[in-house]
């Protein structure tokens, strides 16, 4: 009996000690670091996809002297993310929060930005607008479709059947941009090429993604790519079926030792390092930051063994053009129902918001958004 009492007392003592010291330690830690940045992920950091792309950037950011990075993964798009932000700010002393999932923004990030006006909040998809949202919040976004365009060029030249497959989660603008860019790239080098789209309906449905990859392989597609949270299943299924693949979000080269061509990757570390440098200097962060190859915000995965020499040459040339900020969307451009989207002679600048309002699939894409 006495033993139980003793252990209970010890437990109470240590719990009390913990309660007293935990906030102190938090303050101490915050004071010791020069700049603390919080990064919040919706899924696991090593998902071979969207979250991994941010986590790779976070690990680069950690190497910057004077910068401390605090991370939390698997944070749902609910009030849970508000709690995470609050604890990063109050306990870890974060001065800048990167919220990397679509649903974190409204109302969660907006609420927290109002509650903590001295802290900077940035959201990884372009939802911020000047009139509606606080000025210590903002958006940053990278034009991944430019890298998908390069993918398309390499895929169009590597494909033998001219039939390419695209597995997409939902028909929202950023996904449609990637599909269209992939198709435009492929049809630039092979005007007969088609891109067959399958929408799975959600961001992470491994079984349906595998079914979709099999269905496209059965339909005669010999290159697959995708826009889902974790492309691992699609790339591995393509490899199993003996066809080629292009990656998305992060590097999947290791998953397809035979069939990998190249992949569209984010390079968030450029933005993260810039923002950290601005804050360290005490300057104001941009509220609405975006860019593509010209600002080194996106990249293509190193070519895999399935990329033909012609594909490598054409893709490298396209990358050089994009780095020089040369536009790749020009009229006449039709959607896959035959309507003219961009009239002949008109050139769409890479920064034109027209691209972000994409609600159509271009000619050569087999699929429907409804």
Partner 1 sequence: MSDALTTVAVAMFAGAVRVSTPFLFVSLGEALTEKSGRINLGLEGTLVFGAMSAYAVSYLSGSPWTGVLAAGLAGSVFGMAHGFFCRLPKVSDIAIGIALMLFGTGLAFFFGKGFIQPTAPRLQAIDFGFLTSDPQLKVALQINPLFFIGLALAVVLWWALANTRFGLIVRMTGDSAATAKAMGVSVDLVRFVATTIGGFLAGVGGAFLSLYYPGSWNEGLSSGQGLMAVALVIFSRWNPLMCVAAALLFGAAGALGPALQSVGISQGYHFFNAAPHILTLAILIASSSSKRSLKGAPGELSITK
Q: Which residues would be at the binding site for partner 1 (CB under 8 A)?
A: 43-44, 46-48, 74, 196-201, 204-212, 214-219, 229-230, 232-233, 236-237, 240-241, 254-255, 366-368, 370
Rg over alpha carbons for the chain, rounded to the nearest Å, is: 23
Residue closer to partner 1 by CB (options 90, 208) is: 208
Close Cβ partners of 306 (under 8 Å, ≥ 6 residues apart): 158, 244, 245, 256, 258, 259, 260, 261
Helix, strand, coil content of the chain in percent (nearest 5) = 45, 20, 35
Residue 74, Cα to own-chain centre: how many angstroms? 16
Residue closer to partner 1 by CB (options 81, 197) is: 197
Residue closer to partner 1 by CB (options 215, 342) is: 215
Residue closer to partner 1 by CB (options 210, 285) is: 210
Min separation Cβ 29 and partner 1, Å: 24
Residue closer to partner 1 by CB (options 246, 255) is: 255
Q: What is the DSSP letter of 183?
A: H
CA-based diameter of the chain, in Å? 90
For strands 96-99 and 244-249, give the pairing. unpaired
Positions of E strands within 235-339: 244-249, 260-266, 288-291, 298-300, 329-330, 333-334
Min separation Cβ 47 and partner 1, Å: 6
CA-to-CA distance for 94 and 117, rounded, in angstroms? Answer: 13
Residue closer to partner 1 by CB (options 49, 138) is: 49
Min separation Cβ 368 and partner 1, Å: 4
Min separation Cβ 182 and partner 1, Å: 17
Min separation Cβ 172 and partner 1, Å: 14
Q: What is the DSSP letter of 338?
A: S
Q: Would you call the peptide bond into 332 cis, given omega within 30 degrees of 0 as the criterion?
A: yes
Min separation Cβ 359 and partner 1, Å: 16
Three-class DSSP labels, 134-147: CCCEEEEEECHHHH
Min separation Cβ 336 and partner 1, Å: 10
Min separation Cβ 212 and partner 1, Å: 4
Residue closer to partner 1 by CB (options 89, 235) is: 235
Residue closer to partner 1 by CB (options 200, 245) is: 200
Close Cβ partners of 108 (under 8 Å, ≥ 6 residues apart): 77, 78, 79, 81, 82, 85, 99
Is the sign of the CA dihedral 277, 80, 265, 140 positive or negative? negative
Residue closer to partner 1 by CB (options 55, 157) is: 55
Give the sheet arrangement for strand 137-142, strand by strand: 67-72, 35-40, 96-99, 120-123, 137-142, 288-291
Min separation Cβ 7 and partner 1, Å: 24
Tokens of residue 337, six digits: 């129902």
């Amino acid at each position: 009996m006495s033993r139980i009492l003793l252990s209970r007392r010890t437990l109470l003592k240590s719990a009390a000690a913990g309660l007293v010291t935990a906030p102190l330690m938090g303050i101490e830690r915050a004071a010791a670091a020069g700049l603390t940045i919080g990064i919040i992920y919706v899924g696991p950091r090593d998902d071979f996809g969207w979250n991994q792309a941010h986590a790779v950037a976070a690990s680069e950011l950690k190497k910057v002297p004077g910068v401390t990075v605090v991370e939390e993964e698997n944070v749902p798009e609910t009030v849970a993310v508000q709690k995470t932000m609050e604890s990063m700010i109050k306990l870890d002393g974060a001065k800048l929060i990167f919220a990397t999932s679509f649903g974190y923004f409204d109302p969660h990030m907006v609420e927290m930005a109002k509650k903590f006006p001295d802290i900077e909040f940035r959201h990884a998809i372009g939802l911020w607008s000047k009139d509606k949202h606080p000025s210590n919040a903002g958006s940053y976004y990278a034009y991944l479709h430019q890298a998908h365009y390069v993918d398309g060029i390499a895929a169009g030249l590597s494909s033998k059947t001219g039939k390419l497959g695209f597995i997409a989660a939902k028909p929202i603008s950023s996904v449609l941009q990637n599909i269209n860019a992939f198709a435009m790239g492929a049809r630039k080098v092979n005007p007969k090429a088609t891109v067959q789209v399958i929408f799975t309906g959600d961001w992470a449905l491994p079984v349906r993604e595998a079914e979709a990859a099999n269905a496209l392989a059965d339909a005669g597609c010999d290159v697959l790519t995708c826009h889902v949270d974790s492309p691992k299943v699609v790339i591995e299924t393509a490899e199993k079926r003996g066809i080629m693949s292009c990656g998305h979000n992060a590097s999947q080269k290791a998953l397809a030792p035979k069939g990998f061509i190249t992949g569209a990757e984010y390079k968030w570390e450029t933005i993260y390092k810039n923002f950290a440098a601005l804050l360290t200097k005490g300057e104001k962060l941009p509220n609405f930051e975006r860019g593509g190859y010209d600002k080194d915000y996106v990249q293509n995965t190193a070519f895999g063994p399935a990329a033909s020499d012609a594909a490598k040459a054409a893709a490298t040339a396209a990358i050089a053009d994009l780095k020089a900020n040369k536009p790749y969307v020009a009229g006449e451009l039709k959607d896959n129902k035959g309507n003219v989207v961009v009239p002949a002679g008109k050139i769409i600048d890479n920064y034109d918001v027209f691209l972000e309002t994409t609600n159509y699939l271009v000619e050569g894409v087999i699929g429907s958004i409804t």
